[in-house]
């Protein structure tokens, strides 16, 4: 179900979330987004404390652009197989602007997050800077994607 917490300031969040937010902010500097000029940074933390950063990667063939969330999830799965993901933060900025822009994960990324969560049988906490310039903390990928399509539907 779609239950989540909201916070006016990042400082009000727990220590791990604040750490991931900072890593996600840093990751925006490696965004390759010459077409959208929209820099997205993500960072996830594994069960052993390893942090994996990622950012959106674009291409002149627009449909090939890849969101920061999927970059970071696929990187974690490829480099640290078998590890469980504890939490993930995502933030966005317009090129040449310092302030964060409210943004929420797209539907495709929610679907991928959901299957990672199903695979590892453990909730993935998600923190994002969203509408109203508030911080949102979701307890799981499932809470970001009610009535998700999954392998049991096949
Ligand atoms: N983008 C992300 O990285 N994550 C999202 O959840 C939404 C969109 C990227 C994709 C593209 O490079 C740019 O933002 C504009 O859509």
CA of 6 to the centre of ligand 1 (A): 22
User: Is residue 154 assigned to a domain?
Assistant: no
Rounded CA separation 61/64 (Å): 6
User: Is residue 152 assigned to a domain?
Assistant: no
Given this model, what pLDDT does residue 109 score? 98
pLDDT tens-digit series, residues 137-148: 999 999 999 999
What CATH number does residue 20 fall under?
3.40.140.10
User: Is residue 83 assigned to a domain?
Assistant: yes
* Domain count within the chain: 1
Residue 135: Cβ within 10 Å count: 24
CA of 100 to the centre of ligand 1 (A): 14
User: Is residue 141 assigned to a domain?
Assistant: yes
pLDDT tens-digit series, residues 48-75: 999 999 999 999 999 999 999 999 999 9
Over 90: is that where the pLDDT of 1 sits?
A: no
Which residues are tagged catalytic? 69
> What pTM does this model have?
0.97
Q: How confident is the model at residue 24 (pLDDT cuts 50, 70, 90)?
A: very high
Of 28, 89, 37, 79, residue with least CA distance to 58: 37
Alpha helices in 52-126 (DSSP H): 68-79, 107-120
CB of 33 shorter than 6 A to ligand 1: yes
The residue segments making up the domain with residue 113 are 5-146
90 close to 108: Cβ distance less than 8 angstroms: no
Helix (H) or strand (E) holding 19: helix 15-27
Phi, psi (rounded to 5 degrees) for 137: -120, 115
User: Is residue 153 assigned to a domain?
Assistant: no
CA of 76 to the centre of ligand 1 (A): 19
Q: Which of the listed residues 101, 106, 110 should we mutate to test ligand 1's pocket, taking the one with most ligand atoms within 8 A of CB?
A: 106
User: Is residue 49 assigned to a domain?
Assistant: yes
Q: How far is CA 22 from the centre of its chain?
A: 13
Over 80: is that where the pLDDT of 2 sits?
A: no
Rounded CA separation 52/79 (Å): 9
């Amino acid at each position: 179900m779609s239950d989540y917490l909201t916070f006016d300031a990042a400082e009000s969040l727990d220590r791990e979330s604040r750490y991931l937010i900072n890593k996600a902010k840093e990751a925006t500097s490696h965004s390759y987004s010459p077409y959208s000029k929209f820099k997205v940074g993500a960072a996830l933390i594994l069960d052993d404390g390893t942090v994996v950063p990622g950012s959106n990667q674009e291409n002149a063939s627009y449909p090939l652009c890849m969101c920061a969330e999927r970059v970071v999830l696929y990187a974690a799965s490829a480099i640290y197989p078998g590890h469980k993901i504890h939490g993930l933060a995502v933030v966005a900025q317009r090129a040449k602007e310092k302030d964060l822009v409210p943004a929420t994960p797209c539907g495709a990324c929610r679907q991928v997050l959901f299957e990672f969560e199903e695979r590892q049988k453990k909730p993935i906490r998600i923190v994002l800077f969203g509408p109203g310039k508030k911080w949102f903390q979701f307890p799981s990928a499932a809470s970001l994607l009610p009535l998700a399509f999954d392998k049991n539907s096949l």
